[in-house]
Amino acid sequence: MADIHEHQGSTVSARLRIVGWIVLTTALALLAVTVSMRSIMSGQVAEAANVGIAQEIEEFRTFAAEGLDPKTARPFSSIGELMERYLARQQPMAGEAILAQANGRVLTAGTAANQAGTWLADDPVLLGRILDDAKTSGILESNHGTVRWAKAEAKDASGASGAGHQAHLVVAHFIGGAQEEANRQATMLFGVAAGGLALTAGIAWLAAGQIMRPIRTMSETAASISANDLSARVPVEGRDDLAQLARTLNAMLDRVEASHLAQRHFIAEAREHLGSPQRKMAAALQKLNEEEVPRKQRGRIISTAQAHISLMGQTLADLELLAQSSDPDFIQRRMVPVGEVTADVAAAAARPGAYPDRRFRIAESAKAQAWLDPLRVAQAMHQLIQNAVAHTEDGESIRIGSAAAKGMASFWVANDGPALDPDQARALLENYRSAPEAGQQGSGMGLGLAVVKAVAQAHGGTAWVESGNGNGTSFGFSLPQADAGQGIRCEEEFAQSMASSLGGES
């Protein structure tokens, strides 16, 4: 399944994908701007030609209607003179042709630098199409490009019709030159856009590299982690999304390291607590193979082997309990009386045959309710009792108690054995060892305190040890009486419990 997803994923780096999307988006935007600008400039060329043509036609009509012959100070009597006088006053723009046809002649206005009039005058086909067209304006294609044109008719003062009394003025714009200039500007704009796109790609590459730098650091950190070293962490810089990702990754690494250490410790404890009984049992079985072993000694050897087998079974049970302690459903809480749990534990310890030659008494019993798992609490208490039995002599008394204060319910087991110094007490809880027996400093005797600590932590509490002050040694754990999110539920179950009790009594 992992291989399938790997083949389906992209082989392009995230940095290149970021740059690619930025460049693609910018390129589309610049292309749209360039095409739009070219279209606008082309439209402006056509618009400028139309405006110039319309202006010339309007000026000609005004001149034809109001113009006076400077010789007579009266309207022109000759249509040819009218057209010549008008053309003499004109200075066509670049690409503009102003041409008149009168009395069978073609007259043009312009300079040698502006060849548009010559182009039109020397192209009788084009000029004929314009003069013969029923429309007064239009667009035609010529050898010199697109031509926009308009024409107007004028008559002399007599108002008579005929070739000698009327003429035509043609105003045409060859827009090819202006269009080429617009195209040149569009090409220049495209070049500037391409340069800007290249600059954008470079900046995007650098920016993407800076953005991806924490990701690369995370990848390098993850690659540097091995089973022998889980201490590497990702540096957290700033308060942005990547910093939050780094904090989340570090928290995950903390959990992985803690889980790895717990696993190694679990294996070490299993090796230590199972290895010693196994070696002793192997030695006992080896003695049984010797033919000269007396019957009584053989019985003692068998009893010893059975004791070691029992110890190994208890150790395996403790290890199984520790392995289950990380499960979400390890504890099943309900509201129970603390004193009732204490009494049940004491009764189980004091029953005949459970712990011979030991006396148990309840030193203190809390009169309070607590939100806990009575089965797990009882298991933890029995581990403490076994530890106390292992470190007391026949006939000695073991005290069992519970208390409730400041929202915490505490359970403990105490004996009058040798006191522990602070370092020993701390080592007991940190290393999950039981209290050392006399003459066996530092030796472990089961996983009792590990089970106690696991039960306490599963409830959100802590395990503790107190020693000295003439009161022997006390091992215990403290649990919250109620979870913050379970307060209302606790009150409801407590009320139901009280109602049930009252109903039973009545």
Q: At which residue do the structure tokens 């087998």 appear?
A: 309
Cβ neighbours, 10 Å, residue 222:
12
User: Looking at residues 143-168, what average pLDDT do you find?
Assistant: 76
Band (506; pLDDT cuts 50, 70, 90): very low
Judged on CB neighbours under 10 Å (0-12, 13-18, 19+), 274 is: middle
Tell me the residue ranges of DSSP E strands in 406-461: 408-415
Of 180-189, 206-215, 289-298, 492-501, give the lowest mean pLDDT range. Answer: 492-501
Q: Report percent pLDDT > 90 for the chain.
A: 24
Residue 438 pLDDT:
38
pLDDT in tens, 409-468: 999 999 886 777 767 766 666 655 444 443 343 333 446 788 898 899 999 999 998 887
User: Looking at residues 460-479, what average pLDDT do you find?
Assistant: 86
Q: What are the structure tokens assigned to 444, written together?
A: 């472990």
Cβ neighbours, 10 Å, residue 368:
14
Collect all residues with Cβ–Cβ distance below 8 Å to 446 and sequence separation of at least 6: 273, 311, 314, 315, 318, 383, 386, 387, 434
Judged on CB neighbours under 10 Å (0-12, 13-18, 19+), 430 is: exposed
Q: What span, in angstroms and rounded, lies between the C-alpha atoms of 245 and 238?
A: 11
Give the start-to-end residue ranges of the domains of the chain. 17-182, 229-324, 331-505
Cβ neighbours, 10 Å, residue 305:
19
Domain 331-505: CATH superfamily, name plus number: Histidine kinase-like ATPase, C-terminal domain (3.30.565.10)
Band (164; pLDDT cuts 50, 70, 90): low
Q: How far from 440 is each of 273, 391, 429, 465, CA to CA, in Å?
A: 15, 11, 18, 19
DSSP β-ladder status, 397-405 and 359-364: parallel
Side chain identity at 209, as an amino acid letter?
A: G
Q: Report percent pLDDT > 70 for the chain.
A: 82
